[in-house]
């Protein structure tokens, strides 16, 4: 994936993607179609194309952290979640499907069917054990 075809380098090419917050180096975005199931969920992405989290500059790390806190404050006011799942997927085996670094922020609610099952729940199942 290059910058010309990257959906996070071309945010305005997808009308469902909305920039909610931004700072010097990063955006917090939400995608309309994901709100039906993952209410309030969004992504923090660097403005510059970086393949994965390990390519972020010190400033992008700092700005990602600042946006994470700002997004949490906003989501707390809007949705009053009972918790959050927050994480980076890196590499195809790690679940990354869009190769532009992005941090998932997912509000969690005690009345959802998978409440209490965090990011690691699925990968620590016996059925995921390597042979």
56-102 residue pLDDT tens? 999 999 999 999 999 999 999 999 999 999 999 999 999 999 999 99
Q: How confident is the model at residue 127 (pLDDT cuts 50, 70, 90)?
A: confident
Q: Are 20 and 37 in contact (CB under 8 A)?
A: no
Please report how many Cα atoms fall inside a 13 Å half-sphere around the Cα of residue 121, on the Cβ side. 7
Q: Are 68 and 20 in contact (CB under 8 A)?
A: no
**Could you tell me the pTM of the whole model?**
0.91
For the structural domain made of 11-128, what CATH number should be given? 3.30.428.10
Q: How confident is the model at residue 110 (pLDDT cuts 50, 70, 90)?
A: very high
In the chain, the largest separation of any two C-alpha atoms, in whole Å, equals 46
* Cα torsion 99, 30, 107, 22: sign: positive
What pLDDT does 2 receive?
67
Question: Is the predicted pLDDT of residue 45 greater than 80, yes or no?
Answer: yes
Question: Residue 78 has what DSSP assignment?
Answer: H
- Domain coordinates in residue numbering, the chain: 11-128
């Amino acid at each position: 994936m290059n910058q010309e075809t990257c959906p996070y380098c071309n945010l305005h090419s997808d009308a469902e993607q909305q920039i909610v917050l931004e700072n010097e180096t990063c955006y917090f975005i939400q995608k309309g179609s994901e709100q039906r199931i993952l209410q309030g969920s969004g992504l923090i992405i660097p403005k510059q194309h970086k393949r994965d989290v390990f390519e972020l500059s010190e400033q992008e790390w700092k700005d990602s952290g600042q946006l994470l806190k700002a997004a949490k404050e906003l989501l707390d006011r809007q949705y009053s979640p009972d918790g959050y799942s927050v994480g980076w997927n890196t590499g195809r085996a790690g679940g990354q499907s869009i190769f532009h670094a992005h941090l998932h922020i997912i509000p969690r609610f005690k009345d959802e069917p998978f409440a209490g099952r965090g990011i690691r729940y699925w990968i620590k199942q016996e059925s995921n054990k390597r042979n």
